[in-house]
Amino acid sequence: MKSFLKYTLASLLALVLFSIVATIVSIVSLAGMMTTGGMTPPVRENTILRINLNGELAEQTEEDPFAAFTNGGEEIPGLQTITQAIRKAKDNEKIKGIYIENAVVGSTPATLQELRQALVDFKKSGKFIVAYSDTYSQAGYYISSVADKVMLNPEGVLDWHGLASQPMFFKDAMAKVGVKMQVFKVGTFKSAVEPFTNTEMSEANREQVTSYLESIWRNMLKEVAASRKVSTDKLNQLADSYTALHPTEELVASHLVDTLTYMDGVRDYLKQCMGLDEEKSLTFISPKEMASAEVAEYKEHDEKVAVYYAVGDIVQEANGMTMSGNGPQIVGTKVIDDLRSLREDEDVKAVVLRVNSGGGSAYASEQIWREVELLKAEKPVVVSMGGMAASGGYYISSGANKIYAEPTTLTGSIGIFGMIPDMSELITQKVGVKFDMVKTNALSDMGSMGRPMNAEEGALMQSMVERGYELFTGRVALGRKMAREKVKSIAEGRVWTGEQALEIGLVDKLGNLEDAVKCAAKLAKVEKYNTVCFPEPEPWYQSLLNKKKSGYLEAELRETLGEYYTTFSLLRTLKHQDRIQARISFDPNIR
C-alpha cells in the first residue's frame, strides 16, 4: 500500500512539474513570437491587401496574442491600423488591389465613414477593390459598397434596413427593488438622465434623436448611391422592405450586389483581376502587416506631429468601471501628464487630439481643458473627432485651434447633470435596515443612505450643476469665439452630427484624422515631419489579465442576478462616477 501511494504521489508530482514547465515554455515561446512579430514583413510582388471586417471596429488595434485560439484565428484591427494600411497600399506598386471579406462589422457611423473614405481615396490609384461575404451587416455593406465588384454567397444575406435608436428605461425596474434616481440637470435636451427618470423618450429627446439619425442616414444614402449608381429613393424603398429577408436574386436585380458566387468563384475572379493562371495561388497581406511595412521613401525627421488618442469615458482617476461596464477610459490625471510631456518635447511641433468620447466627469473635463489651453499656448492643437465627441468629449475639444469632425460624428451635447440614487426604500423597507441619527449641524447627515435628499440639499446640488453649466458654456464661448448667449442657444444638452455642427459653428471643417494632421503641420509651419501616436498601448499581458478578470466577474454577476443584472450594473457604476457629469446618453443605441 505504501509503495502504491508512493508511486501515485510521485506520478502526480511529475505531472504537476511537467505542467509548470510546459506553461513556462509556452509563455517564453509566445513572448518570442510577439517579439519576432514586431519585425517588418516584406511585401511580395502581386499582393492583395485582405481586410477582414468581422467584428467591432475600434479606434486602435488591441493586441491579443491569443486571438488565434479565441477568435477563429483572426482579430479585426483598429481603424488606425486599417486606414494606415490602405494609404500604404495605395502607393505601393506591389499591392494590386484590396479584398474585403466577412463584412459583419459594428462601430459608430463616423468610424465606419472614415474607413469608407480611405477606400474611396484608394480607388484613385486605379487599383481594384473586391468585396465578398456570406452575410453583409448594414454597416458592412455601407463600407463594401465602395468596391468595384460586390459579391454575395447565393444563400447569403444582405441587411439594409435604415437606422433606429431604441433606448432602454430603468425607472420601473429600479422601483421594483426600491431605488429612485435623484436628478439635477441643465439643458432641455440633456437626455442622459432619462433612462432613470422616464419610461419613454421626452419630446425634446425624440426631436434631437430624429434629427441626428436623419442626418446620418442621408450621408449613408448619398455615399452608397454614388458608389452603386442607385438613387437614394430606391435605396430607401429597399430599406423599407428589409432586404435581409429577400431572395439573393432580388439583391442582384436591385443593383445592391453584382454577382452571386461561392468562395471558389471569388478566388477565380481575384485571379482574373491579378492576371494569374488558374494553377497560380493568390498572395495576401493583412492590414497589420501592411501598416508595419517599411515605406521606401520613409525618412526619420526630427520634427514630429503627435496624435494623442483620447478614447472612452472621462474620469479623474482610473477606476476600471464605466457607465457602460468595463471599457476604455480617458483618465484625467494621466492625460494631463501626457499632454504636459508633449508640451515640453521640443521635437513635437503640433498635437492632434483624437477624441472619441461621450464624456464623463465634468471635473476631469475641466482639468483636461486647462492642460489643452497650456499646450495650445506653446504649439498648435487640432482636434480630430471620431465616432463621438460629445458633452465632456466636446468640453476637452472646445479650446483647440481647429476642430475637424466627420459628417456623422455625434458632438455637442453641451450640458451638465448630476445623479444620486436614493436607495432608502430598498435599505429600510425591503431589506429592513433601520437608522438613527445624532448631528451637530443642519446638513451633517447629507448623503445618508437612510433617506432621500431634502429640498435644501436638492437646491444646493442644482446650484452646483448650474455653475458647472455656466463654466462649460463659458469655455465653449472662449474657444469658439462666440458670445455666451449664442453658445447657450445651441447648447441645452442637444446632440448634433458633425455636419450640423459645422453649420452652427461648433466645428471648423469636415474631415478625417489625416486631414487634421495636415492642418496641424500647416499651423506649425513644418513641411517634413513624422506622425507619432500617443499614449503607448498597454502591454498585451496586462490587457489579457484585465479581460479575464472582468469577464469572469461579469459572468458570475449576470448569472446570480438574472433580470436584475442590468439595473444593478448601472447602480454599481454610478458610485465610481463623479456626482457632476458632462456626458451624452449612456448608449445612443444606433442600429
pLDDT at residue 564 tops 70:
no
Closest CA to 115 of 133, 132, 135, 139: 139
pLDDT at residue 375 tops 60:
yes
End-to-end CA distance of the chain: 68
pLDDT at residue 124 tops 70:
yes
* Spatial contact of 243 and 258, defined as CB atoms under 8 Å apart: no
In total, the chain counts a number of residues equal to: 591
d(CA 478, CA 401): 11
- Contacts of residue 479, defined as CB under 8 A and 6 or more positions apart, other chains included, come to 398, 399, 400
d(CA 530, CA 511): 20
Q: Does 3.40.50.300 match the CATH number of domain 304-439+448-540?
A: no
**Domain definitions of the chain by residue range:** 47-161+242-292, 304-439+448-540
**Which is more confidently placed, 550 or 233?**
233
What's the confidence (pLDDT) of residue 123?
Answer: 97
Look over the chain and give the mean of its residue pLDDT values, rounded to a whole number.
87
Which of the residues are catalytic? 190, 391
- Contacts of residue 107, defined as CB under 8 A and 6 or more positions apart, other chains included, come to 56, 57, 58, 79, 139, 387
pLDDT at residue 519 tops 70:
yes
d(CA 22, CA 34): 18
Query: Over the stretch 295-322, which tens digit does the pLDDT of each residue have?
Result: 655 567 889 999 999 999 999 988 755 5
Closest CA to 123 of 94, 145, 90, 156: 90
pTM equals 0.86
Residue 293's alpha-carbon distances to 85, 97, 129, in angstroms, are 9, 16, 20
Query: Over the stretch 178-189, which tens digit does the pLDDT of each residue have?
Result: 999 999 999 888
Torsional sign, CA 217, 221, 222, 224: positive
Confidence of residue 579 (pLDDT cuts 50, 70, 90): confident
Residue 371 CB neighbours (<10 A): 20
CATH number among 3.90.226.10, 3.30.420.10, 3.40.640.10, 3.40.50.920, domain 47-161+242-292: 3.90.226.10
